[in-house]
Amino acid sequence: MTGEYLDGDRVGHWCHVAGDGRLRSEGGYDRGELHGVWTWYRASGVLLQRGAFDHGTKDGAWERWDAQGNHLDTTWWKQGRKHKPKG
């Protein structure tokens, strides 16, 4: 993982790079907690999933893709719990 520390905590944008140099995941940290949008990639480089955290807790839309890059589904989270959005 590459990124910056502030007072011993991960902050800002971080990237997880595999041994062969390909990007595995990327996203943000705030005061050591996952925060903001995170994206994960398959070994092939195709998107695997993307979703947001609010200080370590899943929050908002989470999307997944299959190995061919086709969108599979979207789930919604609010303060770490799955929910169905209104409307």
pLDDT in tens, 2-26: 999 999 999 999 999 999 999 999 9
Which residues constitute the domain of residue 43?
2-83
What does the pLDDT average to over 29-47?
A: 97
Overall number of domains in the chain: 1
Q: State the CATH number of the domain containing residue 62.
A: 2.20.110.10
The 10s digit of each residue's pLDDT in 20-31 is 999 999 999 999
d(CA 48, CA 41): 5
- How much is the pLDDT for 86? 74
The 10s digit of each residue's pLDDT in 43-57 is 999 999 999 999 999
Distances in Å between the Cα of 36 and the Cα atoms of 8, 19, 86 are 20, 25, 22
Determine the distance from the C-alpha atom of residue 54 to the mean position of all C-alpha atoms in its chain, rounded to a whole number.
Answer: 11
Which are the contacts of 78, defined by CB distance < 8 A and separation ≥ 6?
A: 59
For residues 52 and 65, the answer to whether their CB atoms sit within 8 Å is no
- How much is the pLDDT for 87? 63
